[in-house]
Every structure is written in C-alpha cells, then in structure tokens.
Structure 1
C-alpha cells in the first residue's frame, strides 16, 4: 500500500467502511435489540426499595467541637454490620415470609453516604411491597442491634467500674482503721493517711467515669426516610435496557463492519481501486451496455487512458497484459484499449485466449475483421495496424488451458507486433496468470465497481509486481453491464393475393356514368350467347376463359 493511501486512513475512511457495510450494522442492531426485548420479556422482574437511616454517635461527648459527627462514625464498618449475618438472622425471623438469612443477605445492599452519618439500606424483592417491607425491617433490625451492642458494652464497662469501686472502698475502710489504731504522728499513722488519700482520689475518678458512661445515649439511630417515601426501582428497567441494547448493537455492528469489509470488500470508488493496485485509475467508464465499439464519453476516456498508459509504459514494454476482473467476461474494454492504441499509428496485436466464446465474437464484431491468408490472424479494416488473434482454448495436451502454444507464439514469436495486448479472462486459473506474468512487461487491471473484490485485485497486482511486471493502472467500469439489445431483423413483406378471375378485375366505372352501365351486345347476337367451347375442354371451364391468362 502506498504512503498516500496510508495517510488517507482517517475518520473519513472509517465512515466510508460503515456506509458500505451498513447492512451489517443494521442486522446487528436488530439482532441485539431482539435479544434485549426477549430479555426484558422473559427475565424475572424485581423491585428495589431504599430506606435512609441516620446513625447516632455513641460517645461520652458527641457534641465535641474538635471532631465532626461523621468523623466519629465509620461508615464502612457500619455498612458491614448492617449487612452482617447477625442482623440478617434477626431480620429474617421478624419478616416471617420464609426468606432465609442467606437469601436476605443477597438481597440487601448497604451504602454509606460520604462525609455524613447517613447510610442507605436497599432491599430487592419480587414485588414493590415486599421490597419496601424488607428495607424497613432490615433498617429497624440494624438500629436495634446497634443499640443493643452499645448497651452491652456500656454495661460491661460500668460493671468493671463497680467492681473496682468496691475494692477501693474496702481499701479505704482498712486505711481508716489503721489511722485510728496508730499513734498520731507515727510512721504507721502517716502511711495510713497517705493510702487513704490515694484511694479517695481513685474513687472520685471512677465515680466520674461511671457518671459519664451512664449519661451516654445508646440508641442506634433513627430512620430518616422510610422505603415507602422513596421511589422503587424496577429491574430490568425497560427503557434503560432497550436503550442500552440499541447502543450496544450499534457499537457491536460498527466493530463487526470492519472485518466484514476486509473479508468481502468490493471496490466501489476510484480511491479504493487506486489504493489496491497501487497505481492510478486510467479511466472510469460510464456505459452500462456492452457494445462492440466504445461510444461517446467512454471513447474519449479510453483515449485519455491510452495517453496515461503510454506515459507510464516502461522502456521495452512490448507486451501489455489486461487482467479482466469484471463479472461479465466480455473483452470489449480490452478491445477498446487495443483500438485506441492502434489509432495512435501503432501496430497492435490483440490476443484473445479462449476466442471461441460468444462474448469474444460479439466484442470484436465491430472491428470489420478480415482473415489473413495462411494463418489464424485477422486484421481490422476499420483501423490500420490492428491485428486480432482469437485463439481457441487449449486441450488436454496443451501446456495451459488459456495460454496455449498458439497464444505464446503470437505474443513473442517471430513477426509479432510492436505492441501486444494480451487479455486475461476473469476465469483464468493460477497457472494461466503465472504464465502471463512471464510473458508481459506491463499490465492493466479491469475492475467492475461494486462487484470486483479487493482481495482478488490486490493479489493480482502484488503477484505482477513481484514478478517484475509494471502495473500501469486500472480501468473501472460500472456495475451491472449488460449486452446491447439486439435490433430485430426486418420481416419480409407479405404480398397480398392477386385476383384470379375476370370478375375480380372489373374496371372501375368512370365518373358521370351510371353504375349499371354494361357493354352493349352487338346487333343480331342474343344477349346470353356465350363463346364457343374449344374441343377437349370440359364444359365447366367455359364460363372462366380468362383465368389462365390472369395466372400467367
């Protein structure tokens, strides 16, 4: 591929691929949308309800200014507790609808709100009522579980403080007893006083801690918005799922369009043809009928193609191969190219393998060919210097089915023309194309827009280039070319039957004479007298004496 084409690959090229392969995109969208509709119809529908809960900060000083309330609550931990097995067991027992704790945990989703003491508890069920009831029940159970856990922790802490206070009070009584039994100012009395003061200080501290713990609010929190007040989300959501299916179909169809275009790409634009053959498009013909001789605009374009071809023809390029990749198999374009070359005062030999085909005879019918004595070659009386060889297809003993010995002799044998145009039909096999690569020095590719496949044309051009054959360009013809309709032959004129009897030859009555005027009968002859019957004639023929004369 040339550098110019590589740089041309961009958004425009991608859009052209999508435009060419729009049926792939359309079919993909239809299939994916149909599957989406089937999913919406067949998939079990569920409802999801949400309850919003505000968590209570369980602290000895919940209103401290040093930290915010959200900083005193770990939302991730609370979400894990709300969806825990312990809460699920309690909630499933309270629901009483046969939902197990494991199923309930699968249906619950807890989401903490960032930088807040709020969590959202979502519950999914087959019906909206069941979803709302489940969300509220899980929220209430979680708050109660949270309060019970806080209460248990506080009771445990207070119990430990009470036990410590009992021990300290006993120590205080013992210290007071030692003070009373000791002499004032003695070392024993002084030690007892010191112990009493220390115990008193610790007792005061423990009493203050106990007082703070007893003031803590252990309620778990409160429901901000019950599930009944929040919207219920149904799944699958019909609109969202259908929109997603259509979008997915468009994306998938666009993705599939490129490999489909690569596998079965047909050449439609001149830029595609030039990129595939890595050479310019010499001519783009417009005629939709296969005619013996190109006419009008196509004739001028073929002459322009001749000039471009001669400008690119390498030195010593005597044999020009014309590779036909059109679907019709008619060599009329190759005939037109050879004719244009001959009109440039060149001696041109057009070699047509498999020349017994009707398409070959029709394409060369307008050249007014004349047989050369003592050979299979024909010359055109239309253009001087144009020789035509219509070589028959080879048999089992020939080297090739198309490039036979006769074809090779006419291409490179003695007495060959200055320029040889060798036509390679579309049906030529690999062996025939390889033989052409050895015979030709230059080549032109014929493509049919919208029909010729890029893979085949690219393979031909690459093989020719690797064999050292210069690919001069391509000639593009429109899609769906058909033979020119035959002009019906004139039918012979049918003559009307001539009258055979005298009464049919009655003269017309002149103007001014009565219609009943009859020739007069001579005097002396009866009116009904008939001419005599010659001897040997039957009597019945006497009344029609002039029939034989009319027939003669």
Structure 2
C-alpha cells in the first residue's frame, strides 16, 4: 500500500491558481459570453408576469361556529383546487372581464394552490403585463368564490324544495288522520289514529326545523384576504437570476476551458511559469528586453547576482553552458563573460558559431553560448562539453515544451542545471522596423568582439 501511495502525485491549490492565472483571458471571455447570452435570452424571451390573490374559504355549514369539527376537516384541498382552476370558473371570469379574453387561454394561465389546512387559497394568474395579471387574478378569485356560493345556494334550494314537498305530504297525511280521528266511533281506531297523528307531528316538526335551518344557511363562498395589487408580483424569467446564471455559467465554462487549454498552451508568460516549467529557480529577471550594453544599472546588478551564483557553483572544469532561448540574438553569454572578468578571473567566450572549446588549462572560465535555434544536435554537443548549464528564457516566447526538453537533456547528461535568466517580452516597438534588425546585427558583432577580448 505504501508503494502505491508513494506513486500518487498530488496537485496543490497553487497549480489550479497558476492555471487560472495563465488562462485568465479565457475565463474573462467566457464570462462576457455568458453575460451576452443571458442578455440575448432576456431580449428574445417574453416576460411572464404572475399576480397572486389570496382568499379565505368559508365552510358552508348549518353550524358554522360549532367547535366539534375544525374547518379544515370540512374542506377537501384537491376538490377546491380543481374547482378554482376549472373551465367553468374560467368561463365565468372571461364573461366578467368583458375584454375578449378567451376562456381556454385564461384556463391555461391560472394556477391555484390550497394551504395545508384547506382554508386559504392562492390564485395565481399569468399575463404579459402586470395590470392584466392583477386584473385576472382578482377576477378569477371573485368568480371562484361566486361559484362556491352559487353551488351552495343551489344545493340548499334543492334540499329545501324536497323538504317542502315532504312537509306538504305530511300535512296531507295529518289532515286525513285528523279527519279519521274525528269521525271514528271505535276505540281501537281512535287509538291508532292518535298514534299516527303523533308520529306525523314529530316528523313534521323535525323537517320544519331542518328547513328553517337550511333557509338561514350562509352560502358566502369566502372573502378576499389580499388582492393581487397588494401581493408581490413575480416576473419570469427573472433578470437577476438570468444574469447571475449567465455570469456563473460563463465562469464555470471558462474554468473548464482553461484547464482544457492549459496543457496545450506552450508559451510561458511569466518568470514564475518558467521556474515551474524548469523546476529550478530564476537567477535573474532582466529589465531591458534586448539588454544592449552598456547595461542599465538594474540589469547590471541582476547579472552580477547571476555571476556570483554561477561562480559559487563552478566545478573545477569551469565550463558553463548558456542555452539561449531569448530568440533575439541576445548577448547574455558575452555579458556573463564580462561580468566574470570584472572579478579578476580569466574568462572567455566560446564562439557560438564555431564552438571552439580548446583552451589552456589555466583556470579560465569558458562560457559556451548555444542558441536553441541551432537545433537539438548542436545542443547535445554543447551539453556534452559542459559542466554546468543555465537557460536564457523570454516571457511569452519560451515554450513549455522547449523548457522541459532542454532541462531533460541537461539532467540526462549529468550536467548541473543552475537556473534561468529571464528576459521580458519583446514588444512590437522592439520587433518592427530596421532598428530591430540592426539591434540583432549589433548584438552578434558584440559577441565576436567580447570573445576576442577575454
């Protein structure tokens, strides 16, 4: 298990931050695209505005204040929701609006929800504008409550009519019994008639009480607690949510594309990226992209630091390989020779074109200049004749592949790698025109002069 765990490579947070720092343009671009997409979505999408009317449902009963049973037990949520969103209520609402609203369209735009106890209904109406949505929600609520009231009245009237018919029938029976009781001479018949009369009177009394109770029944369907104008109006799609979704989606896609793009990104854009790619420290970061002598005070100080670090790591052979990937013919190797000579040590530059490495064994420091543009074979030959090496890289020019290949070849040959000298990116002002070409020619001339001087 320990052997397996030792082969697992962990990726720290710094890796993710480095990738995002390298590919920040992709993240920003995708964020802008996400915002633009959300804006386009809002432009082409029709707003759907929903208004809500809140109503209190009345329990229609002959004992409305009876504490024996809660109102929630007398109302069925599913039934009430179905009634409120029914086509019948939609027809009533369309007729009440009198604005040409089609019942089927209104039916599709209505949504009703009932509270857990079944006594509160929320009627939601959706329309293109706020005014229409508010009007429709209130109209549907009113039509719904009216429908409940009308249905209750109709059921009450039907029952009352049936009870009235029964009362009439009982009155007829009572009249017959009274007539029989008055005309009979037989004691048994008189007793039977009296018994029938008492039963009829008892049933008649009960029915009359029921009819009286039903006639006093309150059939109000309910009342509006909060009309639509007083309730918050929902707008879909929400602009805030749409923009937030666009921004969030753009950032997520940007991060995904950044990690997809990063392994294929070859150019190293900063000294920290170069240090990460080479696995060695940056010996110095120069200020002048072309570093023409005389060097600026800052670049001279940086090169002096490189000199001291190189001298501190020099072996007995004293052969230093300067692998130049600055891509402009920069004379870093020659400048290093001059910096070493300032300390009183003998130093000379191996001609970058002839690779003349013959020297007297007098303790001289030999600086071998090898541009990466000379090819792999020349690089391998130079590495073979060197003791230590350093890389001259340029931000935005040196690639990840070049850095890794160079370092791999150096370490494979057992040559010590000291670090990297980093030059800033060359702007267009340095690259364009005859001045750029003249700078390159002057640099190469300086290399030859310095090679002869030291």
TM (norm. structure 2) is 0.64
CA radius of gyration, larger in: 1
Instruction: Mark the CA change 1:139 to 1:300 in structure 2 (over 3 Å): closer, same or farther.
Output: same
User: Residues 370, 154 of structure 1: CA spacing in aligned structure 2 closer, same or farther, 3 A cutoff?
Assistant: closer
Tell me which protein shows more helix as a share of its residues. 2
Unaligned runs of 5+ in 1: 312-317, 348-365, 395-400, 422-443, 490-552
> Equivalent of 2:60, from 48, 58, 64?
58
Q: 2:156: which partner in 1?
A: 154
Distance in 2 (alpha carbons) for counterparts of 1:140 and 1:125: 18
1:457-468 map, 5 Å = 460=405
Structure 1 residue 6 corresponds to structure 2 residue 11? yes
Q: CA RMSD in A?
A: 5.8
Match of 1:261 in 2: 258
- Structure 2, unaligned runs of 5 or more: 1-5, 431-435, 446-454
In the alignment, the residues of structure 1 paired with residue 96 and residue 202 of structure 2 have an alpha-carbon distance, to the nearest angstrom, of: 49
Which residue of the partner structure matches residue 356 of structure 2?
A: 377
- Aligned partner of 2:433 in structure 1 is none
Matches within 5 A, 1:510-525: none
1:52/1:120 contact within 8 Å kept: yes
Offset of 1:477 from its aligned partner? 0.9
Q: Which residue of 1 aligns with 2:387?
A: 419
- 1:136, 1:48 → 2: CA distance? 12
Match of 1:283 in 2: 283
For 1:130 and 1:393, the matched residues in 2 are separated by 74
- Per-residue deviation, 1:25: 4.8
Specify which of 298, 301, 305 is matched with residue 302 of structure 2: 298
Q: Is the 8 A contact 2:310 2:418 kept in 1?
A: no
After TM superposition, give the deviation of residue 104 of structure 1 in Å: 0.8
The alpha-carbon distance between structure 1 residues 336 and 370, as it changes in their structure 2 partners (threshold 3 A), is closer
| Displacement after TM superposition at 1:103 (Å) | 1.0
Counterparts of 1:391 and 1:118 in 2: how far apart (Å)? Answer: 84
CA distance in 2, matches of 1:208, 1:101: 43
Give the total of aligned pairs: 415
Match of 2:105 among 89, 98, 103: 103
Question: Cα–Cα, structure 1 residues 245 and 461, in superposed 2: closer, same or farther, change >3 Å?
Answer: farther
Q: Aligned ranges for residues 164-243 of structure 1 at < 5 Å?
A: 205-227=206-228, 229-230=229-230, 233=233, 235=235, 241=239, 243=240
Cα deviation per residue 1:400-442 (whole Å; 9 max; x = unaligned)?
Answer: x6416xx766765xxxx46275xxxxxxxxxxxxxxxxxxxxx
Q: Which residue of 1 aligns with 2:327?
A: 328
Distance 1:391 1:231 in 2: 76
Q: Cα gap change, 1:462/1:3 in structure 2, threshold over 3 Å: closer, same or farther?
A: farther
CA distance, structure 2, for counterparts of residue 104 and residue 392 of structure 1:
76
Aligned residue in 2 for 1:251: 248
Structure with bigger RCO (C-alpha 8 Å, 6+ apart): 2
String of CA shifts for 1:377-407, please: whole Å, max 9, x gaps: 245799825274879999xxxxxx6416xx7
Q: Give the TM-score of the pair, scaled to structure 1.
A: 0.55
**Equivalent residues of 2:370, 2:382 under 8 A apart:** no
